[in-house]
Amino acid sequence: MPTIILLDVSLSMTKPIETTENFETSPKQLAVLGINAFLDHVSANTKLEFISLMAFSSLYEEKSPFTRDYNAIKATLQNIDDYDKTCLETALHGVNQMVLGEWGNNTACQVVLVTDGSVGIGPMSLKESLTNLIHRSPNNPFPVPFSFPAKLHVVCLAHPNDMCLQRSKPLYQKLIDLSGYDGSISVPEQLNEVGVTSLFHKLAEDIYTSFKGTLKCGNLKSRIMLYPAPVHYTKVTDFDCQTYMVSETIDILGFISVNDIGSPMAVSRHLVLHGVQNIKDPMSMETEIDLTIDEDTNDESKTPSFCVLLHGALKVENMAALVSLGDNWFGFIYSWADTKKKSNLMLTLLVPGSDSVPWLGDLNYLGCTEQFEQCSSFPIRPSEKRSYSQNGVVWIRSAGLQSDIQKILRHARKLPEKTQQFYKELNRLRKAAISLGFLELLLALATIFEQECLSLPGNVHPDCAVQLHHAAEVLKKTQNQDAKFVITPYVANYNNL
């Protein structure tokens, strides 16, 4: 899960603090120390996390883009200057733009705000911003809730009994509540290097919790880890709101071709990693696959693993495993290759419900192909052959409608060579207008055809005026206002004229 570290670099972060060891420091120095400890924990435990650094005061600046090079972020921390007053709203706008530009609005992120507990003063202070929420214009919305799923964690580097901190805590809590997800407010027990370091270590442990579970298929099972750890999913309908959690035991229900799955809408995707056995746990000493081996079972490299077996089988057969994640919640496990030489076992979490893949039907009713003698392929294709050569008509702006009418008129001026194209586009536009109830367009089009007849130059083919007049007359008739009716060309005999 990507993480943005939002560092306050206002003047209040440079105020001197005397620690319990009679050593003078500042909140900014403690913040740099804590962020370095945070990055050390991530580097040792979750090296695949993307982290970025943003500094803010009255303005914001992206100091480091999303990266896994944590040493580069540490080097950047040593060269951050001090600026003016605190303006948190501006920084939150910057967070929105940064995440939307890099990840979009569907990727969940962590936002870690590191400050001294100050919320600013004046019109752009956090207190003023939260007070005027209901009076804001649509053109100037408050940046929270974020445009993407995000957890906001506020780290206040101040004494627990500081009066400024006591006044700002409710404001930070309201900001976390506005985000819509469970965040946290952290204050060090002791405002010194040891207290701040332990605080950031604990924050990293809480944010990057690993998911450990068991993957089962019949009598075979394997301990696995999911990265990133899946979060709970809340499904809101018109009359209900349900929260789903991934079970610690993931059961494989069956196997299906990857081509039949296609690309369904997913909640999230996770790497499936083989879980490490705990030697101290007596339950971890059981063999994952019931095979008799002479080697030492404590050696992971010599212990048979169902997870490795499944990965190889799915990769060779180009299949995916349908798994049950919980009550009426399904997913797919498959082999995914980011390069030609390396592949990984991936888990895709579908939207909760048995109808999350519409072309497969109800997932609870899937069975083996041997049960259906007349089923030649899966999923069953419709008997009729549909044509998708024509794009759907969409009129969002007047320019789109004007473009369609001009296209018909261009074909009309090249009659009779473009007779087929003229009536094809005319029937296409007419059917769309009737389907939308836009019957005034038919009369307007008939008027345009009549005016076009009067303005035709003398060197055009006579069939041009004849077909335009014929089309205008048909469009005017009320009995022809049926979506299934098709306007056909007028057959004229110019030899008798």
| DSSP states along 16-56 | -EE-TTS-EE-HHHHHHHHHHHHHHHHHHH-TT--EEEEEE
**pLDDT at res. 493:** 64
Indicate if the pLDDT at residue 18 is higher than 80: no
Q: Name the strand (E) or helix (H) holding 273.
A: strand 266-274
Strand-strand pairing, 220-227 and 266-274: antiparallel
Question: How far, in Å, CA of 497 to CA of 466, rounded?
Answer: 12
Which residue did the predictor score with more confidence, 300 or 294? 300
Residue indicated by tokens 């999303």: 66
CA distances from residue 438 to 96, 329, 431, 444 in whole angstroms, order as listed? 40, 43, 10, 11
Per-residue pLDDT band at 372 (split at 50, 70, 90): low
Q: Is the peptide bond before 282 cis (omega within 30 degrees of 0)?
A: no
Measured CA angle at 7 (ends 6, 9), to 5 deg: 145
Give CATH superfamily name and number for 3-207.
von Willebrand factor, type A domain (3.40.50.410)
In this predicted structure, the answer to whether residue 236 has a pLDDT above a threshold of 90 is: no
Q: Name which of 463, 465, 469, 464 is nearest 446 in CA terms.
A: 469
Tokens at residue 281, please?
């746990």
pLDDT, residue 242, reads 82
Backbone phi, psi, residue 52, to 5°: -130, 160
User: Average pLDDT in the 390-399 region?
Assistant: 71
Rounded to 10 degrees, the C-alpha dihedral 174/175/176/180 comes to: 100
Residue type, 293: I
The whole-chain average pLDDT of the chain stands at: 82
What's the pLDDT at 337? 83
Segment of 295-299, 451-455, 457-461, 480-484 carrying the highest mean pLDDT: 451-455
CA distances 287 to 63, 223, 309, 398, 414, Å, are 49, 11, 14, 69, 79
- Given a cut of 80, whether residue 290 has pLDDT beyond it is no
pLDDT for the residue 203: 92
* pLDDT greater at residue 458 or residue 369: 458
Among 165-169, 241-245, 455-459, 493-497, which is the least confidently predicted range? 493-497
Instruction: Return the domain boundaries, the chain.
Output: 3-207, 211-292+300-371, 398-496
| 39 pLDDT more than 90 | yes
pLDDT at 6: 94
Most trustworthy range by pLDDT among 27-36, 207-216, 377-386: 27-36
Question: What is the amino acid identity at position 479?
Answer: Q
**Residue range 30-53: average pLDDT?**
89
Residue-level pLDDT at 374: 55
List the end-to-end C-alpha distance of the chain, in Å, as a whole number: 78
User: Which residue's structure tokens are 């979506």?
Assistant: 483
pLDDT at 20 over 70: no
Mean pLDDT of 176-190: 87
pLDDT confidence tier of residue 34, bands split at 50, 70 and 90? very high
Tell me the pLDDT band of 388, cut-offs 50, 70 and 90: low
- pLDDT score for 238: 73
pLDDT of residue 367: 77
- The predicted pLDDT at position 477 comes to 84
How many residues in the chain?
Answer: 497
Residue 210: pLDDT over 80: no
Which DSSP state fits 14?
G
Q: What's the CA angle centered on 339, arms 334 and 345, to 5 degrees?
A: 20
- 272 pLDDT above the threshold of 60: yes
Write the CB contacts of 327 (distance below 8 Å, at least 6 apart in sequence).
244
Q: What is the pLDDT of residue 35?
A: 94
Buried-exposed string 171-185: b where 16+ CB fall within 10 A, e elsewhere:
bbeebbebbeeebbb
Helix, strand or coil, per DSSP, at residue 257: strand
Q: Are the CB atoms for 69 and 39 separated by under 8 Å? A: no
The pLDDT value recorded for residue 285 is 36
Which of 20-29, 37-46, 292-301 is the most confident on average?
37-46
Residue 70 CB partners (closer than 8 Å, separation 6+): 39, 40, 42, 43, 51
Q: What are phi and psi of 332, to 5 degrees?
A: -125, 135
- Whether 3-207 shares its CATH topology with 211-292+300-371 is answered no
Fold classified for 211-292+300-371:
Ku70; Chain: A; Domain 2 (2.40.290)
Is pLDDT of 356 > 50? Answer: yes
Say how far apart CA 79 and CA 270 lie, in whole Å.
Answer: 36
pLDDT in tens, 413-449: 888 888 888 888 888 888 888 888 888 888 888 898 8
Q: In what order do the strands lie in the sheet with 60-67?
A: 60-67, 51-56, 3-8, 109-115, 150-156, 184-186
Distance from C-alpha of 121 to C-alpha of 127, rounded to nearest angstrom: 8
Q: State the average pLDDT over residues 80-99.
A: 90
